[in-house]
Amino acid sequence: MKRVVLATGGTGGHIYPAVAGAGVLEARGYAPVLMGQAGGMEERIAREGALEFVGVTAGKLAREKPDPRQVLRAARGFAEARGVLARLQPLGVVGFGGFASLPGVLGAQSLGLPTVLHEQNAQLGLTQRLALRRARAVGTAYAQVRGLPDGRGRLVGMPVREARLERRAALAKLGLQDGPLTILIMGGSQGSLALNRAVPSALRAAFGQEGLFADGSVQVIHSTGPRWLGEVLPDVADLPWYRAVGYLDAVAAWSAADLAITRAGTGTLAEAAFHGVPVVMVPLPSSAENHQVRNAEAVEAKGAGRMVPQDALSGSLAQTVLECVPSDVRTSMGVRARERSPQGAAGKLADLVEETLVGAARAQV
Question: Using an 8 Å Cβ cutoff, are 206 and 169 in contact?
Answer: no
In b/e form, how buried is each residue of 33-63, taking b as 16+ CB within 10 angstroms? bbbbbbebbbbebbeeeebebbbbbbbbbee
CB-CB neighbours of 230 under 10 Å? 11
- Residues within the annotated binding site for UDP-N-acetyl-alpha-D-glucosamine? 11-13, 121, 161, 189, 292
- Residues within the annotated binding site? 11-13, 121, 161, 189, 292
User: Which are the contacts of 341, defined by CB distance < 8 A and separation ≥ 6?
Assistant: 273, 274, 276
Terminal-residue alpha carbon distance, the chain: 18
Question: Using an 8 Å Cβ cutoff, are 139 and 119 in contact?
Answer: yes
